[in-house]
């Protein structure tokens, strides 16, 4: 488990470097990757299914990114992308493509549905958190405009 957490941290670091993340943000990006994969492992250990574990880990990574982005005055995607990288189903995607190239329809259906499920869980977890923060922001603006109009 420790090796998985270290590689998640390094994977997040790698993507932060690829996207030319500012040096002061590198530790936050690494911590986000560690947090996301640690959450996935924790939820999986609690008996959550893969979809549920990925969804919750993605939501946690999005929450981390949103809160930290507000504090650092950044767009949340700057932190979310490296944080979510460890959740991307690279192996499953590879085997899906391999099955497609070899024409193995049974393996393609199995691996393809697995890969799609992971991708949907990541997108849904992120979307739920972003929708919450977007609604909260709109409510604050409405309240502020009502106060200024009064």
Whole-number Cα distances in Å, 49 to 9, 75, 132: 23, 31, 24
Angle between helices 105-149 and 90-102 (to 10 degrees): 140
Whether residue 140 has pLDDT greater than 70: yes
pTM over 0.95? The answer is: no
Q: Residue 125's Cα: distance from chain center in Å?
A: 7
pLDDT band at residue 146, thresholds of 50, 70 and 90?
confident
Residue 20 pLDDT exceeds 80? yes
Helices (H) and strands (E) in the chain, counts: 6, 0
The whole-angstrom separation of Cα 65 and Cα 132 is 13
d(CA 41, CA 57): 9
């Amino acid at each position: 488990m420790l090796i998985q957490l270290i590689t998640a941290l390094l994977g997040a670091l790698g993507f932060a470097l690829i996207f030319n993340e500012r040096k002061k943000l590198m530790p936050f990006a690494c911590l986000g990757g560690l947090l996301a994969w640690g959450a996935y492992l924790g939820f999986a250990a609690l008996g959550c299914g893969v979809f549920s574990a990925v969804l919750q880990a993605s939501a946690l990574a999005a929450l981390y990114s949103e809160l930290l982005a507000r504090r650092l005055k950044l767009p949340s995607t700057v932190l979310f992308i490296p944080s979510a990288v460890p959740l991307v189903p690279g192996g499953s995607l590879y085997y899906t493509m391999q099955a497609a190239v070899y024409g193995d329809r049974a393996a393609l259906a199995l691996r393809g549905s697995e890969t799609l499920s992971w991708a949907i869980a990541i997108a849904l977890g992120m979307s739920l958190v972003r929708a919450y923060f977007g609604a909260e922001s709109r409510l604050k603006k409405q309240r502020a405009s009502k106060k200024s109009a009064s």
